Amino acid sequence: MVIDTAIKDFTIRFGNRQDTALILQFIKELADYEHLLDMVVATEEILEDYLFEQKKAEVIICEYQQKPVGFALFFHNFSTFLGRSGLYIEDLYVRPEMRGQGMGKAILKYLAGLAKERGCGRMEWWVLNWNEPSIKFYQSLGAMPMDEWTVYRLTDEALDKLANQ
């Protein structure tokens, strides 16, 4: 299903198995922008398995004049306080040359509508503290920083160590 937006020649569609290489390319472009490219270990095989076999997350592909220009990867989480699921955006990316045309807002509007349609109580994402343009953009939409919370993460050896105790 392709969704037309208010932006001429800009569409949003759900990603499919044939988009796996493109999704990985977008992930790497985003990681490069965030100065985190060395942390990307995902492969096409891993993405295909988790996205299209196990269905652990979903992807939308954004196209301008039928050419891919961005994507968002998201999944459902759950709020015990709300007693409802939420929509968590892991990645949202628009290629630099396409920014400033309303595409990011169109993506978030689409995802907000999807969250409401699915009965979600909220939509969340992270943004790097140094990414002022994105922070200002998100705040202009009414998003609020959750700066009274600190994210903790276990990976690699720490995750293995805890799991094996």
Task: Report the amino acid identity of residue 140.
Answer: S
At 95 the pLDDT is 97
Q: How many whole angstroms separate alpha carbon 82 and alpha carbon 120?
A: 9
| Pairing relationship of beta strands 10-14 and 67-79 according to DSSP bridges | unpaired
Instruction: List residues with catalytic annotation.
Output: 138
Query: CB-side exposure of 107: number of CA atoms within 13 Å?
Result: 27
- Mean pLDDT for back-to-back runs of 10 residues, the chain (165 residues): 78 97 98 96 98 98 97 98 97 96 94 96 95 94 93 92 95
Question: Which residues fall within 8 angstroms of residue 111, CB to CB, at 6 or more apart?
Answer: 60, 72, 74, 87, 89, 123
At 115 the pLDDT is 97
At 6 the pLDDT is 82
Please name each of the domains of the chain with its CATH number.
Answer: 2-163 (3.40.630.30)
- pTM above 0.85? yes
At 2 the pLDDT is 64
At 1 the pLDDT is 59
Angle at 87 between CA 63 and CA 56, to 5 degrees: 80
At 16 the pLDDT is 98
